Structure 1
């Protein structure tokens, strides 16, 4: 169809941004004001434009939505887990968007107690999220948190589970996380800075004391750190953690004596990153101490916790990353990663057993599941792959038997796992490094360069995108798309060094890896530049912005979700949430070296007068992680400078934040828009 729709053009209002004797002109800085009616009008005009440009796909979007929704079992529930005498279950009811949290005393056949019905709680809000639930040790009280704006500023309240009464006290502007001391009346929680949203204070709340009397027990004054609080699985300790990108520190307190002072476990040392778990009279520590780049496991007596007393349990290995541990009364479970693949290692405390659970695929994901019961005889873990639906599995330490407690049910008649193929291939980056790509497609495709291919990547913060199953993705695979994940540097797929080589002054490796994976997929005839589509969100949206500035000719279309694209301006503004804590990831642009490097790749600063691919950019007005004005400014600048007639669409969710719409199915409508955008570019409309 011909484009007769008026393209929204943001007015230019030049603002001079000067530092290090360098001047940048930002014509769209004025969009940084969600209270300005003119800004809201502009965002609405972008939404109207997107709606009109995609109007010919509306029926298709609705069909995609119903198709994706139709694969999901609506009347569903989680596998029950037991904690402190109760079985806990989360269930979904047909036709309802939100979960219902229930429990049963001692036996699964016991009557159910409804703890929280989120459908009732959400009915007066356009956005709703129940953040967390913490049950008191005597099982009578539940501390719970809610967010009705989508800026991840949670309100904590307390409910009496016996009477049903919700106490009047409301604790505002928290992270949503809280934990009970063992006296059933003392609660520890983390508070956010109202401007930056950095979690910076831990308070102690006494039941029925009023929030004005809450005691500040810890203040994290370093703006590059966040703080949090939790209880050890052994239930003996309340633990306060402080962490930055590179460094961590913990404080411990006996949960039986909540009015005592916290004791520092090991004071922070620059680039000493560690975490702790308690077992009997020892703490077990995952740490990168003494050059252990991929971390090692140590232990220390609970009475002398300083680093000089730490003893090796599992020494450092160059090619094995220790990611996590789970402690049980008789066994220790270690989550390791080798050559990109997850491994679950089972070790008995008495030293007689040490082995790995077997997994045979190269495109699978496994993880330690919900195991709150210290005395349990089984390990609950999750498993899925690009072709196999998610399964919750209980492995019995003593019988060595595994039981699938639940496998994700895919409704409808358009999925048979034997119809799909997945594998891992390796591209060679320009510096000679091999970069893995996980790939899935429907069997029978021909490698003739004509296949549409969606290439996803993230590549920051050491966050690893493991290959996992998606019922929603089937709507692409069943229409001939190949789906691939580029495990680029900046993630931790191949260990800690893989992350270190994709951050700070090595950040360009992330972008180069993605581009070189794209070229490899084209060279190997999986696709061509007429059929290759790029997809990334948040820091992965930064990746999208960088690669289209560098090599726009490789891609027919791009999906950029909540993209972090105005890197220099954001990292220079320490009032914006997350900024100061990001210095160890991106660098501090107040220092000239980092400023120049950051400016060299910042997508917004490098938009040029040239041709760009078709693009759909999404954001949320209340996003606290990547502010809406970054993608809005980026789109405005692209509109002004690009020299093509390709589509450039901005969709702003006016009710949500970083995670998109709330509710079980509302978010699928946004995916339906994205998929319709891709499929429309391929001429596929059914």
Structure 2
């Protein structure tokens, strides 16, 4: 399902997403790979003569979008959209492209005086990255698999080495290197595949059960419509013809068959197919067609690799089919029935399916098991708990690792399971994995089903991404890989805190805070960047992001507001920030900003805010509600034309998201959404400095939404502050595809923020 996310998740559907890492939930198995950087001194000031020359040149006039009024009527209410013409589904209208290029030219002209600073920030960010590196190798079958990056190269190589011995996987398992080690084999070099493409992304890389073949999903536009290729793992030669126009959800059903999902004309994943290698795609068999346009399909394999699970889900309901890979019939069988309000995910071990089940009564989920031969006979393993949300589970031959959330923080508890074939009962005596930071992120990593080792990813805002192997029998945890951060980075220089702000209704909102302890005063004089998201039950955990230190090492305080609409505090946290309670998301964010100001973390004059995608909706809403509270705002690929978009079922995501935002064809939702939709609430008032971004090929938030928002702001705002719009004409929701190209967006954003605060060398705030 496409969600309007930003990092996120492409499971059953693509949300309007942010770029932060998103947990690998069973129900939303991401097919976007998760890519996992002190600062050099500020640049020397420009000479006074150079600054004078720049300030003496009058700035160019901003682009003015022509008006072509279009009346939109619903429930007897007429809205006039002067900029509806900016929407072009083909993305080829010369007038639209000319306007977008004019906006890009205007932005480049007004940011020309910070180009040197942007380049230096880019060099800082890139300088923290160890460019030649490998992931923590994962042992599967007779090989270690891993990704390698090379100095100066934008993309990864997918590699493997033979395992020299046949012993069991343990936490002490290490891939041998050196002259006597088995030779490295490069299965696929993305740098070679990316040649000739402005955009290139491999979202899924799946090795067949025998290890002889590899299937990978390729996107060369950023529109998240994939082509799947199968290659021989040793020779790299193509096997059969590619599968075109599909999602990145693909799984092997034995060595001879692939199961995959296709989308309808609004990019809703609606059909699941099975493909026999060597045959033509037109001969593939459709296993299921989901005709309800509020539901979308997802696909994942059990950890045992014996079953595939097809989930059909909406925001409130999901049901599951399973496919027995060993069966000759290759037919889907119902595992959990379609019951409104019941949400299920599944996996398999031995003679039982394990099902996580959520309902209105069990809103934080319960874990049950049922026999393969009687799926209606369920045994509760972990009952529902009001204060603990079950977020994910990983099954092993003898253990289960349960990923939960309590009091807003992730936790992992490991239980030993009875021998296969024995009856199952409630889980008792679990062992919790300990974590040290006050605020942190933990996510499941791929692990080996037939081992006693669970692999997990850990980071905090000051702890670089780390991969650990945890022995579920002994409780021993071994660090397998920590990302090297160059440039003199020292985690002990930084402080992470967890604070709480009181919302307007008294609800306590958690915040994660990062700053450099020798560079902040905590007296209100420090600049701040406050980030928010608050949608889709997504948890924006405080992960490490190396680029942030280009602000933090300049004295910034960086804060994440974990506002309602997200999933940090459990299912009710999400439900209290959606539909007719969506405004809680916006007022929570405002309350966090006010709390930080009252407690002297910053002042209004030093407070900058940032959000992407659905977080861009947050930016638009709070800018309209409280423009006086912020100095500058960055709205990345923002979902800002909420009412018009959600009234149009021909736009990707609309039908699937009526359960998230509401269906404005119903009068109650129409007027509620109209009261906060950013495009509909721009008014004649002063706004802070604003940077808005978009991607021409974005399938989650159409480029026309931010374009219209900017046009409305230009028409109505009464200030002379910066209003810049930057549209990537060759990319989609996640900006450019190369690992260094992506860093340019951060560098540009930070240069804008520094310019807005008057912190650019040689430039005074008055020169804005």
TM-score normalised by L of structure 2? 0.87
Question: Which residue in the other structure is 1:600 paired with?
Answer: 675
Instruction: Quote the Cα distance in structure 2 between the aligned partners of 1:615 and 1:289.
Output: 41
Once the two structures are TM-superposed, the CA of residue 310 in structure 1 deviates from its matched residue by 1.9
Instruction: Quote the Cα distance in structure 1 between the aligned partners of 2:667 and 2:341.
Output: 22
Question: Which residue in the other structure is 1:23 paired with?
Answer: 78
- Structure 1 stretches of 4+ with a deviation exceeding 3 A read 350-353
CA contact under 8 A between 1:131 and 1:177: conserved in structure 2? no
CA contact under 8 A between 2:71 and 2:81: conserved in structure 1? yes
Secondary structure at the aligned position of 1:530 is classed as helix
Q: Pick the aligned partner of 1:199 from 234, 259, 269.
A: 269
Once the two structures are TM-superposed, the CA of residue 290 in structure 1 deviates from its matched residue by 6.6
Question: Which residue in the other structure is 1:272 paired with?
Answer: 342
When structure 1 is superposed on structure 2, of 659-668 and 287-296 the one drifting more is 287-296
Report the aligned-residue RMSD: 1.3
Instruction: Quote the Cα distance in structure 2 between the aligned partners of 1:14 and 1:453.
Output: 40
CA displacement 1:401-428 (0-9 Å, x = unmatched): 2111111111012x21111111111111
Question: Which residue in the other structure is 1:396 paired with?
Answer: 471
Question: Which residue in the other structure is 1:227 paired with?
Answer: 297
CA displacement 1:539-583 (0-9 Å, x = unmatched): 000000000110000000000000000000100111111111101
Structure 2, unaligned runs of 5 or more:
1-54, 165-174, 176-180, 419-426, 762-768
Once the two structures are TM-superposed, the CA of residue 232 in structure 1 deviates from its matched residue by 1.3
Secondary structure at the aligned position of 2:364 is classed as coil
Once the two structures are TM-superposed, the CA of residue 352 in structure 1 deviates from its matched residue by 7.4
CA contact under 8 A between 1:181 and 1:258: conserved in structure 2? no
Q: Pick the aligned partner of 1:63 from 116, 120, 131.
A: 120
Indicate whether 1:347 and 2:415 are aligned: yes
Aligned pairs for 1:371-410 (under 5 A) are: 371=447, 373-410=448-485
CA displacement 1:15-46 (0-9 Å, x = unmatched): 01111111110000000012210100000000
CA displacement 1:68-109 (0-9 Å, x = unmatched): 000000001100001122210100000100000011222343
Once the two structures are TM-superposed, the CA of residue 164 in structure 1 deviates from its matched residue by 2.6
Question: Which residue in the other structure is 2:507 paired with?
Answer: 433
Once the two structures are TM-superposed, the CA of residue 353 in structure 1 deviates from its matched residue by 4.4
Q: Pick the aligned partner of 2:363 from 279, 293, 299.
A: 293
CA contact under 8 A between 1:186 and 1:258: conserved in structure 2? no
Question: Which residue in the other structure is 1:172 paired with?
Answer: 244
Indicate whether 1:51 and 2:126 are aligned: no
Secondary structure at the aligned position of 1:472 is classed as helix
Question: Which residue in the other structure is 2:433 paired with?
Answer: 357
Question: Which residue in the other structure is 1:245 paired with?
Answer: 315
Indicate whether 1:488 and 2:555 are aligned: no
CA contact under 8 A between 2:240 and 2:277: conserved in structure 1? no
Aligned pairs for 1:89-128 (under 5 A) are: 89-107=146-164, 108=175, 109-128=181-200
Secondary structure at the aligned position of 1:436 is classed as strand
Indicate whether 1:648 and 2:723 are aligned: yes
Question: Which residue in the other structure is 1:477 paired with?
Answer: 552
Indicate whether 1:321 and 2:395 are aligned: no
Q: Pick the aligned partner of 1:39 from 96, 99, 107.
A: 96
Question: Which residue in the other structure is 1:420 paired with?
Answer: 494
CA contact under 8 A between 1:32 and 1:629: conserved in structure 2? yes
Instruction: Quote the Cα distance in structure 2 between the aligned partners of 1:289 and 1:153.
Output: 33
TM-score normalised by L of structure 1? 0.97
CA contact under 8 A between 2:187 and 2:234: conserved in structure 1? no
Instruction: Quote the Cα distance in structure 1 between the aligned partners of 2:744 and 2:528.
Output: 22
CA displacement 1:189-208 (0-9 Å, x = unmatched): 10112x21111111111111
Indicate whether 1:367 and 2:443 are aligned: yes
When structure 1 is superposed on structure 2, of 563-572 and 201-210 the one drifting more is 201-210
Question: Which residue in the other structure is 1:74 paired with?
Answer: 131
CA displacement 1:134-162 (0-9 Å, x = unmatched): 22212211111100010000001211224
When structure 1 is superposed on structure 2, of 474-483 and 79-88 the one drifting more is 79-88
CA contact under 8 A between 1:422 and 1:438: conserved in structure 2? yes
Instruction: Quote the Cα distance in structure 1 between the aligned partners of 2:359 and 2:591.
Output: 34
Secondary structure at the aligned position of 2:675 is classed as helix
Indicate whether 1:337 and 2:405 are aligned: yes
CA displacement 1:423-477 (0-9 Å, x = unmatched): 1111111111111111111114222211111100100000010111111100000
Question: Which residue in the other structure is 2:213 paired with?
Answer: 141
Aligned pairs for 1:605-644 (under 5 A) are: 605-644=680-719
When structure 1 is superposed on structure 2, of 229-238 and 47-56 the one drifting more is 229-238
Instruction: Quote the Cα distance in structure 2 between the aligned partners of 1:302 and 1:161.
Output: 34
Once the two structures are TM-superposed, the CA of residue 499 in structure 1 deviates from its matched residue by 0.5
Instruction: Quote the Cα distance in structure 1 between the aligned partners of 2:436 and 2:135.
Output: 26
CA contact under 8 A between 2:397 and 2:450: conserved in structure 1? yes
CA displacement 1:156-203 (0-9 Å, x = unmatched): 121122443113512111112211112x1111110112x211111111
Indicate whether 1:216 and 2:290 are aligned: no
Instruction: Quote the Cα distance in structure 1 between the aligned partners of 2:704 and 2:186.
Output: 41
Once the two structures are TM-superposed, the CA of residue 612 in structure 1 deviates from its matched residue by 0.6
CA contact under 8 A between 2:240 and 2:278: conserved in structure 1? no
CA contact under 8 A between 2:302 and 2:348: conserved in structure 1? yes
Instruction: Quote the Cα distance in structure 1 between the aligned partners of 2:234 and 2:528.
Output: 54
Q: Pick the aligned partner of 1:532 from 594, 603, 607.
A: 607
Instruction: Quote the Cα distance in structure 2 between the aligned partners of 1:149 and 1:650.
Output: 21
| Closer/same/farther in 2, CA of residues 637 and 233 from structure 1, 3 Å limit | same
Indicate whether 1:581 and 2:581 are aligned: no
Question: Which residue in the other structure is 1:263 paired with?
Answer: 333
Question: Which residue in the other structure is 2:257 paired with?
Answer: 186
CA contact under 8 A between 2:303 and 2:394: conserved in structure 1? no
CA contact under 8 A between 2:431 and 2:475: conserved in structure 1? no
CA displacement 1:503-549 (0-9 Å, x = unmatched): 00000000000011111111111111111011100000000000011
Instruction: Quote the Cα distance in structure 1 between the aligned partners of 2:504 and 2:86.
Output: 38
